[in-house]
A and B are shown apart, each in its own frame.
Chain A
Amino acid sequence: MRGSRRLTFVALLIWACGMLVSAVVPWPVIEGGRSALADLDTIGANAKASAATPRILLIGSSPVVLGLSAEEIARATGLPTYNLGVWTALFFFPEYLDRAMEFVRPDDIVILSNPNWLNRQSPILGEGCIGKFSASCTLWRPRPLPDLVEFVKVLSGLWPTDFGVKRDPVGDLVTVRIRNGAETIPTLPYVGRISDGVVADLAQAAARLRKLGACPLLTLGPIFVEPKERDRWLGEQSAAEARVAELGLSASVITDGMVNTDRSLFLDGFEHPAPSERVIWTRRVVERLVSPTQSPCSRSLAKAEHSLNQS
């Protein structure tokens, strides 16, 4: 009996140590997050090297990588545009945003789309866990100790960099390897009222960007939903628009076009736009940006035009 008690104690101790190690392994190294941040650094360095002011910076996760074209936006506005969106950023969005903010200069136009604004029911509980030691971070990280192996890889400089996504120097997508090209892809489930929380987050993000002297343009990415749930989602969209208007953010937030029931507009997941949707979403952003009456960033655009005329 004493032997089995000792063994049980040792097992519990090993388990506790395992959880502890998983808690102190730096979060960015896991789940390829390190590689995503490396992508951000590379494209961000290119943006930093550009002396032109202002610039347009696209910030977000894989939907932004797949769904917005820096080249098209640059062509339409005449401003240098960089797609700083990175794959898997949704898993650690606050940390990613902090890093991306380092590349923002006053008068820049920042187009920001956080996939977690809509995908709130998904178990992205690791969010906000970098450098944080808490019970919830320890328990809910997507992978506990296995990433020790990955951690060793990072220490040795051999972290994986291939997500199957190839990008050009401004961050635009060149090729992507589809992981789940099945005919049927999951839709984003409707889980009840989310608009209040979404709008509060939007307002917070806008305030943060304005504090840096940048002009925010926030956009809710396209999502693929069940046809029978379309009306509920549209109800959420209307509710969000009303709240956005109340807060005086109407010009800075693009909410329309987020709800889609057409499978062909999506690549391999409910928030991964296909090339056809990329054209649509990019056009919607450009239209808002260059609109003489609605653009929230007319000051930045005017300044850009002025400096262009001078040069």
Chain B
Amino acid sequence: MTLDAAVTGAPLLSVRDLTKHFPITGGVMRRVVGAVRAVDGISFDVAPGETLGLVGESGCGKTTAGRAILRLIEPTSGEIRFDGTDVRALGKEPLRKLRRQMQIVFQDPFSSLNPRMTVGASVREGLTIHKLAEGRAADARVRQLLEEVGLRAEHATRYPHEFSGGQRQRVGIARALAVEPKFIVCDEPVSALDVSVQAQVINLLQDLQRSHGLAYLFIAHDLSVVEHIADRVAVMYLGRIVELANADDLYSMPLMPYTQALLSAIPVPDPEAKRERIVLRGDVPSPANPPSGCPFHPRCQHPQKDAACSVIVPPLELKEPNHWAACIKQLPTRISWADQKAAGASRQPERVVPIRAIA
């Protein structure tokens, strides 16, 4: 399966069948009695200079996926290729060298900076570790980086507590930028910020992307922010990617019933907007004990849902050009009607797409 038909040329990052299972131990002997399948076989590509949005609700595995790609946590299985390098095969030292190319910006600018280091020292760290600059050259580079992210050069001597949330997030971005990466995992970079400040940081990320040709994996639960910033979007549910498409296509014609419900749940800042909301019943099931078949079937609102949905694991398949979704009831599907009937199906697959109200 190629997930990058939209992308010409080689992808910068290519992830195949990535899994991360956390063991659950029990009893006095702390034996492994099960596993939380936080990431359960995901595949996608990121092209140079592209933004791939990764969305989903708490516990869907999006943050774990982002960290597993950078090997900040070790993946259980799967393949990660970055610029042709097999990331999982790297030893400690080569991995550290590669991290110059792949950086991360965290959600919480309060806890991701060392409170006892000046922000200048924090930004400088990467330069020292990767031997990019020393002494005066490093000082100059730090000042330049701070100005690039919209702070002042003299801020270098201040401590994190002297900054507002938005300013701290700018420091976090300067830190990532210091080593001149090609790719940054942005893990909920604006979720902790107020609306007006959030807009400033989003603009900054977009400006930097253009000037440095950066590729982003933009992880967020805020679907409006992702729609604004992403070229393509992957939706995760219980450790799997359930839909992947160009942002415009995904938002205008979501095909996986979960994506449809997710999009319809976003509150629209327009009191005149009339639309049909799909309110999902129940909670997200535990990834330690996911439902059989399609992980979404217990909450699914697709009118053709039937017994086969709790048996057949839906493959992420091409439904439209460059638009993948995992649903055996949403046509077209390569799971034949005969196979569905054998699994207990009583309702024919059918294409169901809600109409999106434009605000």
Are A and B physically bound partners?
Answer: no
